[in-house]
């Protein structure tokens, strides 16, 4: 059985992960509206990864005999000044999520909840990857600046991303 304080914090994290999915889906919609279908594809895959993250917390709560309570999801922004600004916002959001995961680790340590702590280690590693990928996208877009050709190349590159369905609860995607 999981302590109430931990399960409440995990329910809150489901909300954060679902907001991440919502945010990236909104960015994908905006990219499509600008004809940047490759960047939209990358963000659509990211949306599915975020859903998988939310489901990891969902499953953990259920497995520990507690109750999932879905909380309200805020409306995300719908427009950005440029693809660069959108990806900068994505990086800032990932840094925010890393802070939330770190807080959960601190809580699980305080409560001596070793099972939760073990599950959270996957997220610690995942956030390193999430921030690194988001940061690379920002760097690429900063490099191409206003070049239409450069933007098209980045669009093609990001469009190659495909979603890998997690094969077990220990895998959350690529």
**Window 123 to 152, contacts with ligand OFO (CB under 6 A):** 130
Q: Does 14 bind ligand OFO (CB under 6 A)?
A: no
Per-residue contact flags (x/-) with ligand OFO for residues 26 to 65, judged by CB under 6 A: ------------------------x--x------------
For ligand OFO, the closer CB: 117 or 133: 133
Rounded Cα distance, 112 and 46, in Å: 32
Rounded Cα distance, 88 and 36, in Å: 17
State the minimum distance, in angstroms, from the CB of residue 44 to ligand OFO.
Answer: 14
**Residue where the block lists tokens 């990358």:** 42
80 closest CA partner among 138, 144, 16: 138
What 8-state DSSP symbol labels residue 162?
A: -
Q: Does 155 bind ligand OFO (CB under 6 A)?
A: no
For residues 7 and 64, is the Cβ–Cβ distance under 8 A?
yes
Q: Does 97 bind ligand OFO (CB under 6 A)?
A: yes
How many residues touch ligand OFO under the rule CB under 6 A: the total is 7
Give CA separation, 113 vs 1, 17, 61, 72, 100, in Å: 10, 21, 13, 27, 17
For ligand OFO, the closer CB: 159 or 173: 173
For ligand OFO, the closer CB: 96 or 114: 96
For ligand OFO, the closer CB: 53 or 60: 53
State the minimum distance, in angstroms, from the CB of residue 148 to ligand OFO.
Answer: 30
**Which residue has the CB atom at the shortest distance from ligand OFO?**
20
**CA angle, 168 then 172 then 173, to 5°:** 105
**Residue where the block lists tokens 């280690």:** 121
Q: Contact positions toward ligand OFO, by CB under 6 A?
A: 17, 20, 50, 53, 94, 97, 130
């Amino acid at each position: 059985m999981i302590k109430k304080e931990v399960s409440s914090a995990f329910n809150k994290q489901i909300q954060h992960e679902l907001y991440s999915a919502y945010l990236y889906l909104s960015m994908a919609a905006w990219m499509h509206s600008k004809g940047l279908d490759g960047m939209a594809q990358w963000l659509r895959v990211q949306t599915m990864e975020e859903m998988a993250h939310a489901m990891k917390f969902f499953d953990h709560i259920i497995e520990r005999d507690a109750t999932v309570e879905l909380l309200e999801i805020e409306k995300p922004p719908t427009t950005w000044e440029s693809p660069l600004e959108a990806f900068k916002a994505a990086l800032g959001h990932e840094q925010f999520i890393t802070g939330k995961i770190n807080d959960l680790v601190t809580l699980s340590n305080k409560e001596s909840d070793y099972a939760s702590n073990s599950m959270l280690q996957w997220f610690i590693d995942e956030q390193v990857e999430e921030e690194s990928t988001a940061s690379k996208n920002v760097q690429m877009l900063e490099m191409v600046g206003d070049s239409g050709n450069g933007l098209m190349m980045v669009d093609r590159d990001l469009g190659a991303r495909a979603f890998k369905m997690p094969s077990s609860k220990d895998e959350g995607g690529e």
